[in-house]
Every structure is written in C-alpha cells, then in structure tokens.
Structure 1
C-alpha cells in the first residue's frame, strides 16, 4: 500500500510540475502577444448590412420585372 501511495504521490508531484511549466509558458506567450485590432469586428457588420441591402434590391428588381 505504501508503494502505491509513493507512486501516486510522485505522479501527482510530476503533474504539478508540468502544470506549473505550462502556466509559465502561457504567461510568457501572453506577455509577448500584441492585442488584436478591433476593426475586424466593426467591418463585418457594415459588410453584412450592404449585402442584405444588395439582396433586397435584387429581389425587388426581380419582383417588379
């Protein structure tokens, strides 16, 4: 039983070490990353609006002809 406890405790410790390393790597990546520009969010809305207007115009032309 004590061997089993030693095995699991060493496994748990190694997992904690790996988690700590991963966390440190993520923090390093976060510090190195630049913020993404927000203009992509704002440009997608007008484009979809223009497409909707174009579709409505085409449908109205098709219905009148």
Structure 2
C-alpha cells in the first residue's frame, strides 16, 4: 500500500487534503484531523473513490467540464 501524499497545491498551507493510491482505490482524508489531540486515527473520516472514477471525481470537485 502506498503512503499518504499532500496536494502540491497546498504548499505553505495548513488546510489541505491528502490522498493515497492503493490497488484500485484512491483514499482521501483531511490533513488537519490528526493535529487535534482529541481526534483518534481510528475515527478519522476517509473517502474511498474507485481509481477508475478518479478523473471524474476530480472534475466534479474542481468544477471542470468532463472529458469528451
């Protein structure tokens, strides 16, 4: 399994998401969650997107028109 990577667009920012590519799934989490000592890793919300749908997910998330 790969490691979590921070978005290159979040350089110098504390507000970002991290992604991890593993097999046929892309996992997404908020990097701020674990900075709060009251939050536990086991309860961290993580989104799972099928890798085949990753491009469509990014298009929707960034409000870009779909590929044709």
> So what's the TM-score if we normalise by structure 1?
0.20
Structure with greater helix share of residues: 1
Structure with more relative contact order (C-alpha pairs < 8 Å, separation 6 or more): 2
Q: Decide which structure has the larger Cα Rg and report it.
A: 1
> So what's the TM-score if we normalise by structure 2?
0.20
